[in-house]
Structure formats: C-alpha cells, structure tokens
Chains A and B, each alone.
Chain A
Amino acid sequence: AQSVTQLDSHVSVSEGTPVLLRCNYSSSYSPSLFWYVQHPNKGLQLLLKYTSAATLVKGINGFEAEFKKSETSFHLTKPSAHMSDAAEYFCVVSDRNFNKFYFGSGTKLNVKP
C-alpha cells in the first residue's frame, strides 16, 4: 500500500534563509509525486510534480524538489524564503493506477521577518 509521511508538522525559518520541507513515501511501484500549497482560507495550488522524467523538478515561486528513489524521498526546497511563502504544504503520492491520491498530513511553514 502506498503512503506518504511529512516529517515535520511545523517549520519556522527567517526571511531570506533556505527552506526544507521533508517528505517520504512508501510504494511498491514508481509513483507520481506532487507538492501542493494552501494559503490560509484558500484552496490548494500545485507547486510542482514528478512523473518519472527528470529527478530534479522545478516548480513555481522558486521551489524545487528532488526525487530520490533509493531514499524514497521527495523533499521540497527553496534557496531563500519570502514572507509570502508562509502557508501549509502538502506532499501527495498517486496510487499504482494513477487514479487516486494520498496526501501527507501537511507542513505549516512560518516565515519570520
């Protein structure tokens, strides 16, 4: 069965410092992986996705993630945090047939001035 674990429920960084949000997945096949962002009282927006092409995936707003099969990880990074990055981030894995999606429990990112 597939599952996804976000290792930190809360991350706090200072503006201008790097961001690292960690995600590990479990599956017996090569899944599609996604990162979504949810700003307060808003819907979800896709940041980036991995679908078996390049292992380093670039997304919107300067975010990127690296698919590491040997570590079953898909960590999200950004070189320099901005105040507008404060939000909740979700790592998502697809099922084998790419019909269903499984969300991590979310990581809330706080950016301090």
Chain B
Amino acid sequence: DAGITQSPRHKVTETGTPVTLRCHQTENHRYMYWYRQDPGHGLRLIHYSYGVKDTDKGEVSDGYSVSRSKTEDFLLTLESATSSQTSVYFCAISESTGRDEQFFGPGTRLTVL
C-alpha cells in the first residue's frame, strides 16, 4: 500500500471553529489532492498541489484553504467550519500528471455540529 496517512481520522467540531486536516505521504509523489465524499456526489476535488507551495483550486474550494510547505505534507484548513462541511475527506497522491494512478488515504470523517 502507498504510504499515505491522514490525521485525525475522526473529528467532531462546532460551527465556526477552525479545523485543520493533515495528509502525510512517504512516497515522494509530486501531486497531492484533497477530496470530499458525500452521498450521491461521488468524490469532489477541493484543492490540489503540484509541488511545494504550488496549489490550485478544485470544483468545491469555497470555505477551504490548503498549504504545502514540504513535499510530504498537505494541509487542508476550514477557517470557520459550517454544517455543510460535514463530510468524509480523502487525500490522494499521484506520481506525476493526471495520467497516473491516484493513491488514496484512509479518509477523515468530519462532523460539524
């Protein structure tokens, strides 16, 4: 299995609080992605990174920010969590471009009350 970990694995928080999710990889892959998974929507891309300090928005980026200061770590921050951000969040990595396989982390279940 690809070396991808996500932390925390489960989190319950309250509306209006900041939340940071961490994705850590040991594969030295260039690309990293954050997705959210909601019933009936499949996975939707939030943000992705194509290198250290290089990030771009996905299709559902509002309310989220990311940072990548090291190759191995990609952080997703909810500045002020809302109930609509209750979801399962998956991190993925890919060696190079979108022609390559993505490897997914185990997911983080976030509940915003």
Contact = CB atoms under 8 A, between A and B. Distances in A.
Size range of the chain B interface in the assembly: 20 to 34
A46 B102 contact: yes
A106 B107 CA distance: 17
Contacts of A32: 98-99
Interface SS, B side: strand
Size range of the chain A interface in the assembly: 20 to 34
- Counting chain A CB atoms within 10 Å of each CB, the highest count among B56, B92, B104 belongs to B104
Contacts, number: 58
B107 A51 contact: no
B42 to A, nearest CB: 4
A90 B42 CA distance: 7
B113 interface: no
A49 B100 CA distance: 9
A95 B106 CA distance: 25
Interface of B: 31, 33, 35, 40-45, 48, 50, 56, 58-59, 90, 92, 97-99, 101-102, 104-107
Given A43-B104, A90-B43, A103-B43, 11 more contacts: A9-B40, A34-B101, A34-B102, A43-B90, A44-B43, A46-B101, A46-B102, A99-B48, A101-B98, A102-B45, A103-B44
